[in-house]
A and B are shown apart, each in its own frame.
Chain A
């Protein structure tokens, strides 16, 4: 238990150990710890940034979706409008066509009737002449009485 030379020996050992620790142990371990702290801090900052980016992107996507929906609605509206317009146009065209067809039909009927009447009128003249011949039992000079016949035909 007496103080002896051991004290000096331990003092030397102490100094050597502390110096070794100061040169070769503390700096690399501290460097590793501090580097890792930096890495972790960077990672946390990056994740925070990523979360913000994600939120932003989500907002962006929502806005785009909304816009797209509005556009789609607009397009559908436009299409509906076009449809009714086209239907109306087609209906208008059809009516016009129908009217045209009816008109041409009328005109044809009119001209047919006119022709038929002329024919009839001619035939009536012939029939009248024939009837008159039969009634008079004599030949009527067609040339001499053509003025009467023409008057008759005109009256018919």
Chain B
């Protein structure tokens, strides 16, 4: 049982990987030596599908948006858009047409990806295993991890995107000199402290994307891990699973909101001149 449990958990926490080798496209075990040139196809698939669900839903509402009495879907979409818009306006006071749509994309996309946590942990891997079985692959060799935000690649992609934007807007608003000044003349405004300041500020700057990515990843990975552990305890998993899923009513939107809010805060800091 113990070994079974271990391999069960490990199976659930392994991404479906794809790489190209000398003999053509290979999957998972054959990719152990591919290093960086590996694609987590489950993360990519689920994140892009969820992103498309988000964008196409919102786009269909945007196309049919009436200024008159809105439908129920339009009401829901406008609620989310209004919520994001007010969050942006509370924090960010400059003029930037990019930040609000960016915040909306991050919030809804991360929310949807986190929400995959609620899908029972065995459902998607079982379906994938059956499909793999039809395709002539041993179902134990079919890996699928359906929560994209439990993959560091996903969370780092988001946080690095935000990080690049922070650097871009810092330089655009303050100029390269201004940005360098901010990095070297704070917190101690004296030429002798320039190296110390630079180290401190660089760490601060780099800590932002790191903490942003790791916070989201850690919360969701831990949540998913507990879901998998709960799935191994037999019949009692039903009430326990219910409790843990109910708890995630809090965790899932909260993590999406934190990610969005910190993105707005970091970008508004990038726009501020000291």
Which chain A residues have a beta carbon within 8 Å of chain B's beta carbons? 1-11, 13-15, 17-18, 20-22, 24-33, 35-36, 39
Contacts and interface: CB of A to CB of B under 8 A. Distances in A.
Contacts, number: 124
Interface of B: 13, 15, 17, 34-40, 43-44, 47-48, 51, 54-55, 58-59, 61-63, 65-68, 70, 74, 77-78, 81-82, 85, 97-98, 100-102, 104-105, 109, 151-154, 156-158, 160-161
Nearest to B97: A22
Given A20-B59, A30-B85, 18 more contacts: A1-B13, A3-B156, A4-B37, A6-B38, A6-B39, A9-B44, A10-B157, A18-B98, A21-B58, A22-B101, A22-B102, A25-B101, A26-B81, A26-B100, A29-B61, A32-B70, A33-B81, A36-B68
Contacts of B152: 1, 3
A26 B39 contact: no
A7 B39 CA distance: 9
A18 B158 contact: no
Contact of B55 (A4, A17, A32): A17
State the main secondary structure of chain A at its contact with B: helix
B260 to A, nearest CB: 12
B8 to A, nearest CB: 17
A32 B39 CA distance: 40
Given A9-B44, A29-B62, A35-B67, A21 B156 contact: no
Contacts of A11: 157, 160-161
17 contacts: A2-B38, A4-B17, A4-B37, A6-B153, A8-B157, A10-B157, A18-B98, A18-B102, A20-B55, A21-B104, A25-B59, A25-B104, A29-B58, A29-B77, A30-B81, A30-B85, A33-B81
B145 to A, nearest CB: 10
A4 B35 contact: yes
Contacts of B36: 3-5
Nearest to A12: B157
A11 B36 CA distance: 15
A44 to B, nearest CB: 15
A15 B61 contact: no
B81 A7 contact: no
A37 to B, nearest CB: 9
